[in-house]
């Protein structure tokens, strides 16, 4: 399959253009020629030396990641940027990146995948960012205790223990999800009336803000909450007739 066709299919499925004005990431094809044939695609959360080396070892023609290499442009191709990009060019491996589009997609995205894992129903877009959403909210058919929800999050790939600010009700029925670094949407969670916000990592001020508002916050790990999107894209690649390989490289964060 031509690389241009794979990119076009991913861009269309993820509505990449809709996030162009709100995302610092250069989403879409970040490294690669105009003409290239793709047979094997590797998928990983981060584009880094370790995952690039693993993609090369897997004989991949294309590496797809959630966190890419270009954030607001490259002034010089030196140092760390060179060390990451040079092997891709040398080994003829293209790089496709989807950051916020892959957070917010309501079926294939990270928040949607985490909602699937938790078995949420009555799901709606959450986490407004300009004209788009980067998260999802939903309800449990049967309320969960804090310990039950923590245990479910501890099952995530790469999770090293979910931290909880346990200031909400004893029984949790409604939750909002913004994966990765999503505590900036705590006020939206409070305004929406959910019992808890689930995200990856926190900030100091969130402890007091959650305590004062009477809402729980679950910090399940940036990496651990963001493996779903690339895995779902791997399934999409399979439907396109491409071989795929998932590269797991947890960061512990």
Whether residue 205 is found in the same domain as residue 109: yes
Check if the beta carbon of residue 211 is closer than 8 Å to that of residue 165.
yes
Check if the beta carbon of residue 137 is closer than 8 Å to that of residue 128.
no
**Residues making up the binding site for a divalent metal cation:** 66-67, 103, 222, 226
Whether residue 28 is found in the same domain as residue 140: no
Q: Which one-letter DSSP state was computed for residue 181?
A: S
Whether residue 139 is found in the same domain as residue 193: yes
| Mean pLDDT of the 147-151 span | 98
What is d(CA 51, CA 38) in angstroms, rounded to the nearest whole number?
18
Q: Please give the C-alpha separations between residue 73 and each of 24, 41, 68, 70, 140, in angstroms, as whole numbers.
A: 9, 25, 12, 6, 42
**Residues making up the binding site:** 66-67, 103, 222, 226
- Give pLDDT tens digits for 4-32: 999 999 999 999 999 999 999 999 999 99
Calculate what percentage of the chain has a pLDDT beyond 90.
Answer: 97
Q: What is the pLDDT of residue 75?
A: 84
Dihedral sign for Cα atoms in the order 22, 123, 14, 70: positive
Residue bearing tokens 């990009």? 85
Whether residue 56 is found in the same domain as residue 146: no
Structural domain containing residue 51 = 3-99+226-246
Q: Which one-letter DSSP state was computed for residue 18?
A: G
What is d(CA 98, CA 113) in angstroms, rounded to the nearest whole number?
15
Number of domains making up the chain: 2
Check if the beta carbon of residue 111 is closer than 8 Å to that of residue 120.
no
Q: Which one-letter DSSP state was computed for residue 128?
A: E
Residue 174 placed within a domain: yes
Whether residue 50 is found in the same domain as residue 120: no
Check if the beta carbon of residue 27 is closer than 8 Å to that of residue 57.
no
Q: Give me the chain's average pLDDT, please.
A: 97
Q: Would you state the structure tokens that stand for residue 122, as one six-digit string?
A: 């009555």
- Give pLDDT tens digits for 33-77: 978 999 999 999 999 999 999 999 999 999 999 999 999 888 889
Is 0.85 topped by the overall pTM? yes
């Amino acid at each position: 399959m031509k690389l241009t066709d794979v990119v076009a299919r991913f861009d269309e499925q993820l509505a990449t253009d809709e996030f162009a004005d709100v995302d610092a990431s250069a989403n879409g094809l970040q490294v690669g020629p105009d003409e290239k044939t793709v047979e094997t695609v590797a998928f990983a959360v981060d584009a880094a030396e370790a995952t690039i080396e693993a993609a090369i070892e897997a004989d991949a023609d294309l590496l797809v990641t959630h966190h890419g290499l270009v954030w607001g442009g490259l002034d010089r191709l030196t140092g760390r940027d060179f060390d990451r990009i040079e092997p891709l060019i040398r080994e003829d491996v293209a790089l496709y990146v989807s950051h916020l589009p892959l957070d917010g997609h309501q079926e294939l995205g990270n928040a949607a995948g985490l909602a699937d894992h938790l078995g949420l129903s009555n799901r709606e877009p959450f986490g407004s960012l300009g004209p788009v959403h980067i998260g999802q909210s939903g309800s449990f058919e049967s309320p969960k205790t804090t310990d039950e929800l923590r245990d479910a999050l501890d099952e995530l790939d790469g999770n090293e223990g979910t931290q909880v600010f346990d200031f909400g009700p004893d029984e949790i029925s409604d939750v909002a999800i913004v994966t990765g670094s999503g505590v900036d949407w705590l006020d939206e969670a409070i305004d929406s009336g959910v019992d808890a916000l689930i995200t990856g990592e926190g900030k100091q001020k969130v402890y007091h803000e959650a305590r004062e508002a009477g809402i729980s916050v679950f910090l399940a790990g940036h990496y651990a909450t963001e493996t779903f999107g690339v895995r779902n894209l791997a399934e999409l690649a399979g439907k396109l007739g491409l071989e795929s390989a998932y590269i797991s490289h947890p960061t512990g964060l």
